[in-house]
Structure 1
Amino acid sequence: MSKAVNRARRTLNETPADLLVGSIGKIFEEAYGITEAELYQVDYRLSELLPLTEGDSIRDAGHPAWRAFDHQVPLLVDGTAWVPVSMRGERRGVLRLAPVADDPAVLSELADVATALAHELAAVSPGTDVYRVARRSQRLTLAAEMQWDLLPGRSRIRPSFSLAGQLEPAYAVRGDSFDWADDGQRLWLSTINGTGEGVAASLLTSLATHALRNARRAGLGLGDQAALADQAIYDEYRGKRHLSVLLMELDLRSGTMSVVDAGSPRLILLRGGEVTEQPLEAQFPLGMFEATDYHEQTLTLERGDRLFVVSDGVVEATGKNVRYGETALDRFLRRTGPMEPLDAVRSLIGDLRAFVAGDLVDDAVVVCLDWTGPQA
């Protein structure tokens, strides 16, 4: 590793949170003669790349910035480099650097620094608003602010799986949400089809998410996780409020998946180009009754399987008095086979926006999981 990369990494660790890009910009200038350095972050809707300090947003899908973001490779065009800023599968945006020499070794070193920047952005973001503010093209509603802060991220990659999720309408989402965690041997995934309006919906989803995390971190099984969250919601609302959730636990060594369907979103399997909705044992939504018991059922995944979890807001999306519906959804999901999970999720949301000719009215959540098989 070059001295410039090592120096950039040390500088990122020592620089104040709001000055990260400027600090590595100085190192780029000294080491590579680069005089322009700007961070473009992807916005909440996954539709724009927004500059941290100045300049216009980038929307054109054919722009080199989007090609670098989509394919996760640095691109050099007319002396300007567009370098992905990503870590562990979480795509934050791209760096614009100029002028850059046409040298693969230099591009590789710039990519290493961009990855270090992504890690540092993840570390400092809880303590500063600089980067959150810069990646929104409009104001978030209070409910949406609560929902986005609740998420574990938007995408995740490990040797045995790839995972991505998205909320819509991004700037005004209320109750739909998702959560995930893994420990190297198991992956836990919950997808919530929220109910209600505004902050009340976000509060209900937040209670459910934290109750499920509390049960999961206590080492409880999937059925007991659902039961604990169910009781927490019932104790608070006494049956007047409830919500649907799909809980999944995937054994990363075998591909065996345990599922609890608590009035849940749809679970759809894409295998060998065929789309099938998985039959699940429907159980009561969380919080509907006191002391409900929940039972797990088991599915077995094969290498190359792709799972989608979609809430009612996807199928029920309406444009010109016509529902998007299951047929359109199945047809579109078949076309996502070659895409990475985040690209598949973004494409489906984009298709929904095009169908309704604007932002969705009702909440929609889409989660995509690829199972690539057990790894050493």
Structure 2
Amino acid sequence: MVSLPEEEQRRVVADCFARTGLTVEQLWLRYFALGGGVTELELDAFLQGLMTLPRIQRDMVAHAVNERLEEVTGLRQAPYSQKADGPSRSRGPLAALVDLLAGAHRVAPERLPAVIATASRALDLDVTVYLADYEQRSLLPLDGDGVPVRVPLDIESSAAGRAYQQAGSVLTEEPEGSRLWNILLDGEERMGVLEIAAGDEADLRDPALRDQCRWLASLAGHLIAAAMRYGDALDTVRRRHPRGPTAELLWQNLPPLTAATGSIVVAGGLEPAYDVRGATFDYAISESTAWLAIFDAGRDTESAGLVVSAVLAAYRSARRDGLDLSGQEAAVDKVLSTQFGGDHTVRGTLAELDLADGVLRYLEAGLEAPLVVGEDHEQGSLDGGRRQPFGAGPAARIATARLRPGDLLVLHTEGVSKARTTEGGRFSLAECLDDNAGQLPPETTRRVLRAVKSHCHNTFTDDAGLLVARWRGRA
């Protein structure tokens, strides 16, 4: 490809525009429909030679002019920034979208990083996919075959890690050029980051290009998450240690670790990530209601994982059948008595939040009370609705509370609140929440569980399960 000098391209594009019969406003509307990112005033200034535009924006203007010339004369005359000296390749946002969707169709999961990299070249970008490991400690770079190619990046100390923590983007200046680190999302769940380097004339500070990087990362995250459901290659990369059968069962039964609507953000996590034995959580969100649950069958029996999985299934079945908290509670008690002969109990918390007014209905069966952390860091516990663990004792009397917009609701197992050092020092959940409740809910969850793991030196006597929800107020 031979690059066309910027001023020469601008001059010819302006001459061609003069022959279209369009006003600047009409041209701008066509340009904007193609994904253009500058204002009508800036476009007019560019045509008059009063300001410059990034290469990708100049090419969008040229394309808008050519579309009009084809309508009028049947010919394209406005030049693009590069002249093809061989077969040309489509460029721009639409080409990147087509390349990504077409390339991902029926592709093996491990080939997705190569598909994403190829599609990004239509935006004059060079992209590398990084996936987070299951402990959310490192970001692992992948090549075109879905295997690590470089040294992992630490989430706590790297620019890529900052993008991951903030679920946003971070621009850095490196000896070899600028780098944009953009969060890789499946909906709201953080999968990893994209490392993005620009071509010779692309500008990573261009707001329009940054927007295109965001949708590229969002669509790529969806495709990676979907591919992981039918292949193991990318999932295997994220594992730093083997998982036993019980941990495998519990992880496969979890919902996405993060989800959100306009009214609420929910995030959860489990530790030890590769050896969880008896804890799990679940949630469901509708336009009007959020349902939350956490369960703990302990770590001291080989059947704990099967028991808590059965409890989770009973809870989901009741919830999906439209039963209220009392019906869900009864379903959990019933499965313990009928399938396990009353020989097992499970601790847990069930909650139902009205997303319109913040009214919370909840019951607590053998666990410590849920916590509420306000935007002012004020903390309180919800001490109503208490009963013996599921499978033991009578049903609870449902308790109610009211959240304020911005409040963080925290459900947790005793593996969090009772984690101890080798000297017996107890973990302070309240202090850790005070330090981290202002983060995004998935980052609060990650930081609290990381602190628990550090506190007990990865020696868990109980599984650490955490489920947090921030109510934003009426959508």
Tell me how far apart the structure 2 counterparts of residues 282 and 76 of structure 1 sit (CA, whole Å).
Answer: 49
Q: Give matches, 1:14-25, under 5 Å.
A: 14-18=105-109, 19-25=111-117
- Offset of residue 13 of structure 1: 4.8
Greater mean deviation of Cα atoms: 120-129 or 170-179 = 120-129
Counterpart amino acid of residue 136 in structure 2: L
2:463 is the counterpart of 1:363: yes
Q: Using a 3 Å threshold, how does the CA distance of structure 1 residues 165 and 12 change in structure 2: closer, same or farther?
A: farther
Do residues 66 (structure 1) and 166 (structure 2) align?
Answer: no
**Which amino acid is the alignment partner of residue 261 of structure 2?**
R
Residues 147-194 of structure 1, C-alpha deviations (whole Å, 9 max, x = no match) = 111110111122111111110111111111110111211111101122
* Counterpart in the other structure of 1:345: 445
Corresponding position of 1:96: 195
Residue 131 (structure 1) aligns with: 234
Bigger RCO (CA 8 Å, 6+ sep): 1
For residues 223-242 of structure 1, the aligned pairs below 5 Å read 223-242=326-345
Taking the TM superposition and a 5 Å limit, the aligned residue runs for 1:40-119 are 40-52=130-142, 53=147, 54-59=149-154, 61-77=156-172, 78=174, 79-99=178-198, 101-103=202-204, 104=206, 105-119=208-222
Trace 1:170-181 onto structure 2 (pairs within 5 A): 170-181=273-284
The residue type equivalent to 2:303 in the other structure is A
Q: CA 1:109–1:15 in structure 2 vs 1: closer, same or farther (change >3 Å)? A: farther
| Residue 121 of structure 2: aligned partner | 29
Task: Show the 5 A alignment for 1:251-266.
Answer: 251-266=354-369
Provide the alpha-carbon RMSD of the alignment: 2.0
Aligned position for 2:290:
187
In the TM superposition, what is the alpha-carbon distance from 1:74 to its structure 2 partner?
Answer: 2.4
Per the TM alignment, residue 58 of structure 1 is displaced from its structure 2 partner at its CA by: 1.5
* Distance verdict in 2 for CA 1:4–1:110, change over 3 Å: farther
Equivalence for 2:416: 314
CA–CA separation in structure 2 for the residues paired with 1:8 and 1:367: 38
Instruction: Determine helix, strand or coil for the equivalent of 1:173.
Output: coil
1:99 is displaced (CA, Å) by 4.4
Identity of aligned residues (%): 26
Distance 1:198 1:179, change over 3 A: same
Query: Offset at 1:123?
Result: 2.2
Residue aligned with 1:207, SS: helix
For 2:106 and 2:407, the matched residues in 1 are separated by 43
| 1:302 corresponding residue in structure 2 | 404
- Alignment check: 8 A CA contact 2:99 2:118 kept: no
Please tell me the residue identity of whatever aligns with 2:182.
Answer: V
Correspondence 1:282 to 2:386: yes
Give me the whole-angstrom Cα distance separating, in 1, the residues matched to 2:327 and 2:395.
8
Deviation at 1:50, TM superposition (A): 2.0
Q: Which whole-Å CA distance do the structure 1 matches of 2:125 and 2:363 have between them?
A: 56
Q: Deviations over 1:106-155 (max 9, x none)?
A: 23212211100111223222211122111111111221111111110111
- Secondary structure, counterpart of 1:70 in structure 2: helix
**Distance in 2 separating the partners of 1:174 and 1:369:** 24
Aligned to 2:430: 330
Is the partner of 1:318 in helix, strand or coil? coil
Normalization by structure 1: what TM-score? 0.92
Matched, 1:269 2:361: no
Paired with 2:282 and 2:312, the residues of 1 have a C-alpha distance of: 7
Partner of 1:221: 324
Q: TM-score, normalized by length of structure 2? A: 0.73
Change in Cα spacing, 1:241 to 1:302, as seen in structure 2 (3 Å) is same
2:363 and 2:103 map into 1 onto residues whose CA distance is 43
Aligned with 1:208 (options 311, 317, 334) = 311
Change (3 A) 1:339 1:33: closer
* SS of equivalent residue, structure 1 residue 343: helix
Change (3 A) 1:50 1:266: farther
Q: How much has 1:316 moved relative to structure 2?
A: 1.7
Secondary structure at the residue paired with 1:188? strand
Distance 1:12 1:202, change over 3 A: farther
Give the distance between the partners of 1:280 and 1:27, measured in 2 at CA: 54
| Structure 1 residue 56, shift from structure 2 partner | 1.9
What per-residue deviation string (whole Å, max 9, x for no partner) do you get for residues 213-268 of structure 1?
10011001111111012101111111111101100111111111111222234301
